Amino acid sequence: MSTNSNRPVYLKLRDQIAAAIIDGVYPEGAMLPSVRALAAEQGANPLTVAKAYQQFQNDGLVEVQRGVGMYVVRGAAERLRAAEREAFLRQEWPEIRARMRRLGLDPAELTLAR
């Protein structure tokens, strides 16, 4: 996940929630914390959390059951994993590879590193 400090808070929250879905903290069919609960936990404005949740709803990764809560849909973790993998390979990996070259690091050495 990206740790860019210039990103808006709602995108940082979205990344945290996406990581939790990928890691199985919120598996398929699980209910996400309420907007208020997550806002209190994260020290964020509820509107910011609602905006992060809206991104998942727009992407079809969660479904809302009115009056009950928001649930992770089937296949959400795999879809998120694929999107994160693509973003990593397109955005982050080229920078990492260039830095490795500058430092004279061989990828095989990294598996032996502590």
List of domains in the chain: 9-112 (1.10.10.10)
The predicted-structure confidence for 1-41, as pLDDT tens digits, reads as follows 444 578 899 999 999 999 999 999 999 999 999 999 999 99
86, burial (CB in 10 Å: exposed 0-12, middle 13-18, buried 19+): exposed
Q: Are 60 and 72 in contact (CB under 8 A)?
A: no
Query: How many Cα atoms within 13 Å fall on the side-chain side of residue 22?
Result: 15
The predicted-structure confidence for 42-83, as pLDDT tens digits, reads as follows 999 999 999 999 999 999 999 999 989 999 999 999 999 999
Strands (E), the chain: 62-65, 69-72
Whether the per-residue pLDDT at 96 is higher than 80: the answer is yes
DSSP string for 16-39: HHHHHHHTTSS-TTPBPPPHHHHH
